[in-house]
Amino acid sequence: MLGWISFWGYIIISVIIAILIIKYKKIIFADIMTAIMASLLSFSFDMVFCKQLYTYHYITKKYAGINSFLMGLTVFPSISLIFTSYMPRNKKLIPIYVFTWSTFLTIFEILVRPLGAVVYNEWRIVPYSFILYLLVFSFLIYYRRIMLKYSKNTSKQ
């Protein structure tokens, strides 16, 4: 029961934060596209590691697919919006920013593990989650830069 409560809590809190960011921060085309990419990465990753390899799953194996879909549709795009909304403008600070976010989310996973929203079968939070966060956030920054360049080029035409 606690797993379901925490699972829905993550979703509700993520959606509220995303709504607040969209309302109060300047969200641009590149931020929306990056959030969509975060969702697609989540779906792809969960397809392999959650549904095929069963290294982890959300709450129960029976509902792993739908729960993974809900997380990918809400939580990960919300995290992406938060991440891109507060990203430093100074490029030299971006590696520290990515490292800080990766560390924070890894610690968060460790702290909330007992709640049971995510059941770890073979997945190791340390080092797998930390490495994955580093890679995903780095990729999202690169993807956002491409989207920024694309949106500038199309606005000139």
Give residue for tokens 């939070």: 125
pTM comes to 0.91
| Structure tokens that stand for 94 in this block | 């971006």
Q: CA-to-CA distance for 118 and 22, rounded, in angstroms?
A: 27
Joined together, the tokens standing for residue 110 give: 């460790």
Token look-up 């938060």 returns 82
Which tokens go with 88?
């430093």
- Identify the CA nearest to 83 among candidates 24, 144, 131: 144
pLDDT band at 127 (very low <50, low <70, confident <90, very high): very high
pLDDT tens-digit readout, 5-16? 999 999 999 999
The distance in angstroms from the start CA to the end CA of the chain is 55
Which residues, at least 6 apart from 105, have a Cβ–Cβ distance to it below 8 Å?
79, 129, 133
Supply the pLDDT for residue 39.
97
Q: What is the SS3 assignment for 33-86?
A: HHHHHHHHHHHHHHHHHHHHCCCEEECCCCCHHHHHHHHHHHHHHHHHHHHHHC
The model's confidence at residue 156, banded by pLDDT at 50, 70 and 90, is low
Average pLDDT of the chain to the nearest whole number: 93
Per-residue pLDDT band for 103 (boundaries 50, 70, 90) equals very high
pLDDT digits (tens, 9 = 90+) for 24-72: 998 999 999 999 999 999 999 999 999 899 999 999 888 888 999 999 9
Identify the pLDDT of residue 17. 92
d(CA 19, CA 114): 28
Cβ 71 vs Cβ 11: under 8 Å: yes
Q: What is the chain's length?
A: 157
